[in-house]
Amino acid sequence: MLRNANGHFDWQFITPPVHSTFMGKGFQTIERHVDERLENETEETLNARIKADIVVMCQDRGLPAEGEKKQLIKYLLDWQKAKPVPGPSTPQLYCPEIPVVSKKAAINTVYLNSLLMDANFQGEITYDQIQVGRKLGSGGFKDCYAGKYKGEDVAIGQLRIQNFTETDIKEMKHEIDVLKQLRHENIVRFVGVCTNVRHLCIVTELCEHGDLYDYMRKARRPTFGRMIMYMHDIALACSYLHTRRPSIIHRDMKSMNILISSDDRAKINDFGLARIRPRANASMHTQCGTPNWQAPEFWTPNPRYTEKVDVYACGLIFWEILSWADLGYPYHNLTEHQLYEAVRDKDVRPPLDRLRKYPTSLLSLIQDMWRKDPRRRPTMSYVVDRLAEYLQ
């Protein structure tokens, strides 16, 4: 993957190497390395690739895939020149990988405005300014549509308000208050809100590929470099939330709340459960979120937690990305009671056996992120730095 003049990445797909000599089905000799895919590569061209691509190239050739990028490039160049390869030089069994594919409030427009808006609010949209297009999906009390606003492609979350309580409206106001103060390329951009009594809508940027959970189940497995980019995008957005003053804890990080844009970038969505943490050393106390991605510290009568709950959830999302839905979602085969018992009491975590082809350092990072003790989990800023090493 190369960075172009606009600062974006151009993705290059790596095809499997051509092996020279086979000793019957399932065997390969490594005496000489005739590798057409490396013939035109030099130290300069390899160095222009991101580390994640170099890792895959090494893995495809049975070379060490751990260590600094410079050392991995040396392994490839040595292979290219048919120099001795680290490891045994006798015939080895060749096993090609098999793909693993309250009381009801009187709802009216004036009342909605009084609850949702403030004197400085600049994002009110009238219903005649938006064009509602195809339905993207439904969830809870909201239907989501693709649409247009002032010529821009947008997502329109139209809420079914007939059963809303005043508490529901105030929760919605909270989400809007959070959204409108966030400005980051990996957080879904808030456009505005329509408070028409018949059409209460939250308008945001449109992410054409939908949520990550569904996307992983309909899209082909991407390159390792692209997986790292998704993880890096998510980590950047979380780090941005956590390092704000006051910091913001999302509290409901999961693959369904990550959207994929048309330019293949991951963006955090759904801040309905987000809470602002007033001081860096303050703990939050409200239980919430989806159990499968919840950190164990949530599961007490009076939970105390910090932004490390998001770190834990991101570790599970990264596991989902690497497995690309082949292993399901975290703890999909457990009931809620079994989940609490396994994760909290027995320290069970999603299996890594089928992910061993990925760098050990990356898997270790994920394991650190989902540690039971939140104090031992890394910060999201640290995670950003570790993932960035694969994009250099």
Can you say whether the dihedral through the CA atoms of 256, 232, 99, 49 is positive or negative?
Answer: positive
Angstrom distance (rounded) from CA 302 to CA 279:
19
Residues 102, 106, 111, 116, Cα dihedral to 10°: 30
Q: Find all residues with CB under 8 Å of 46, minimum gap 6, and list them.
A: 54, 73, 76, 77
Return the DSSP state at 13. P
Q: Which residue has the tokens 């890096």?
A: 232
- In 3D space, the residue among 182, 220, 208 whose CA is nearest the CA of residue 261 turns out to be 208
Candidate list 252, 263, 368, 373, residue with the active-site label: 252
Q: Which two tokens stand for residue 350?
A: 């999603």
Neighbours of 187 (CB within 10 A): 23
- In 3D space, the residue among 207, 318, 218 whose CA is nearest the CA of residue 267 turns out to be 207
Angstrom distance (rounded) from CA 54 to CA 363:
17
Adjacent-strand bridge partners of 276 = 248
Among this protein's residues, is 143 annotated catalytic?
Answer: no
Whether the link from the prior residue into 374 is cis, omega within 30° of 0, is no
Reduce the DSSP state of residue 251 to 3 states and report it: coil
Q: Which residue has the tokens 């690739």?
A: 49
Q: Find all residues with CB under 8 Å of 342, minimum gap 6, and list them.
A: 331, 334, 348
Angstrom distance (rounded) from CA 21 to CA 65:
23
In order, the DSSP letters of 155-201 are EEEEE-GGG-BHHHHHHHHHHHHHHTT---TTBPPEEEEEEETTEEE
Helices (H) and strands (E) in the chain, counts: 11, 13
Neighbours of 120 (CB within 10 A): 5
Asked if residues 258 and 250 have their Cβ atoms less than 8 Å apart, the reply is no
Q: Name the residues annotated as catalytic.
A: 252
